[in-house]
């Protein structure tokens, strides 16, 4: 599963360390198992985290391109 997520992120130019992704998935997985009624909240938090990671990476790439020009 981690390989698939990592490969998809690399396609759009985002890299995240495998240990960080693994820890994040384990934490969210445990929360969903222990508290199944909070699945919408956990998915929402996970998506917000992913969105922040995507946006910060995008901004970093734009800054690097601007610095080269």
Domain borders along the chain are 2-68
Q: Is the separation of the CB atoms in 60 and 12 below 8 Å?
A: no
- pLDDT over 70 (residue 34): yes
Phi, psi of 12 (to 5 degrees): -100, 15
Mean of pLDDT values over 11-32: 76
- pLDDT over 70 (residue 29): yes
- pLDDT of 31 reads 86
- pLDDT over 60 (residue 62): yes
């Amino acid at each position: 599963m981690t390989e698939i997520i990592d490969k998809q992120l690399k396609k759009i130019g985002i890299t995240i360390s495998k240990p960080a992704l693994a820890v994040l998935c384990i934490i969210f997985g445990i929360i969903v198992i222990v508290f199944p009624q909070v699945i919408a909240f956990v998915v929402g938090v996970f998506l917000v985290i992913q969105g922040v990671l995507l946006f910060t990476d995008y901004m970093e790439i734009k800054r690097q391109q601007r610095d080269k020009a």
